[in-house]
Amino acid sequence: MAPTSSKFCVLLSLTLFQLHLVSGGRLANGSSPLNQGLEEKTTTIHFFFHDIIVGEEPTAEKVAEVEMSKTSMTGFGMVALFDDPLTEGPDATSKLIGRAQGLYASASQNDLSLLMVLNYVFLEGEYNGSSLSILGRNSIFSSTREMPVIGGTGMFRLARGYALAKTYSLDLLTGNAVVEYNVTVIHY
Ligand SMILES: *[C@@H]1O[C@H](CO)[C@@H](O)[C@H](O)[C@H]1NC(C)=O
Ligand SMILES: *[C@@H]1O[C@H](CO)[C@@H](O)[C@H](O)[C@H]1NC(C)=O
């Protein structure tokens, strides 16, 4: 019986849709089923990121480029992987607080903008073992760049926030850079 079965289908899909709303939606008090009963905290972490391309112990290396990279003014298509130290101060010998591990790719044909995909893994103090994940656009010659924090683990489970970056020093010959970061996250 066609009419009855299509009515049934409509009913079924309405029910599934409502179930989806309930399971995915936020509760009335603004908390989600995942963070119920937990208090929201805001944390800002300040550190310096050391990207060493040329040196005794490099921390970043190009892993790929495309045909267009050779003629592009911005090196479009280049991809590099890195495992960069994060330190308390701008000096490479200052206290290590974690590492930034991930990749950057030259993703703009018109300016030097990198697609950044990385995790900060913290190695000391109360954040030891916790991590934050970043996915964003880094227009490296802008004085301040902003990248979204899209998640985290450990102390930073369910984190969301943003990272602000400013170049502290850049060697144009080697590409080695020290970048100051303030990363602000809301977590529980
Ligand atoms: C961080 O945690 C690891 C693993 O639990 C431990 O081995 C290490 O000593 C800790 N580091 C600091 C500085 O507390
Ligand atoms: C980080 O915050 C400090 C203190 O407010 C400020 O002096 C510094 O300029 C900020 N740096 C960045 C990259 O936002």
What is the pLDDT averaged over residues 118-131?
A: 97
Whether the CB-CB separation of 97 and 89 falls below 8 Å is answered with: no
pLDDT band with cut points at 50, 70 and 90 for residue 9: low
**Among 116, 108, 9, 110, residue whose Cα is nearest residue 60:** 116
Q: Residue 11 to residues 1, 20, 35, 144, 152: CA-CA distances in angstroms?
A: 16, 14, 32, 52, 39
In this structure, the residue with its CA closest to atom 11 of ligand 1 is 124
Ligand in nearest proximity to the CA of 162: 2
Ligand 1 pocket test: pick from 87, 123, 130 the residue with the most ligand atoms within 8 Å of its Cβ.
123
Q: Looking at residue 19, what is its pLDDT?
A: 46
Ligand 1 centroid to Cα of residue 38, in Å, is 26
Q: 32-57 pLDDT, tens per residue? A: 777 778 899 999 999 999 999 999 99
What is the pLDDT averaged over residues 164-170?
A: 98
* Residue 12 pLDDT exceeds 60: no
Domains of the chain: 3-187 (2.40.480.10)
* Residue 28 pLDDT exceeds 90: no
Name every protein residue with a CB atom under 6 angstroms from any ligand 2 atom: 46, 164-166, 180-182
Ligand 1, atom nearest to 124 Cα: 13
Q: Residue 124 corresponds to which amino acid?
A: E
**Among 164, 161, 156, 148, residue whose Cα is nearest residue 127:** 156
What is the pLDDT averaged over residues 104-133?
A: 97
Q: Looking at residue 14, what is its pLDDT?
A: 52
- Take residue 170 and report the two structure tokens written for it: 């850049």
Ligand 2 centroid to Cα of residue 182, in Å, is 6
Q: Looking at residue 103, what is its pLDDT?
A: 98
Pure H helices in the chain: 2-24
Q: Looking at residue 21, what is its pLDDT?
A: 46
Ligand 1 centroid to Cα of residue 124, in Å, is 6
* Higher pLDDT pick, 156 / 24: 156
**pLDDT averaged over the chain?**
89
In this structure, the residue with its CA closest to atom 8 of ligand 2 is 182
Q: 68-105 pLDDT, tens per residue? A: 999 999 999 999 999 999 999 999 999 999 999 999 99
Whether the pTM exceeds 0.75: the reply is: yes
Q: Residue 104 corresponds to which amino acid?
A: Y
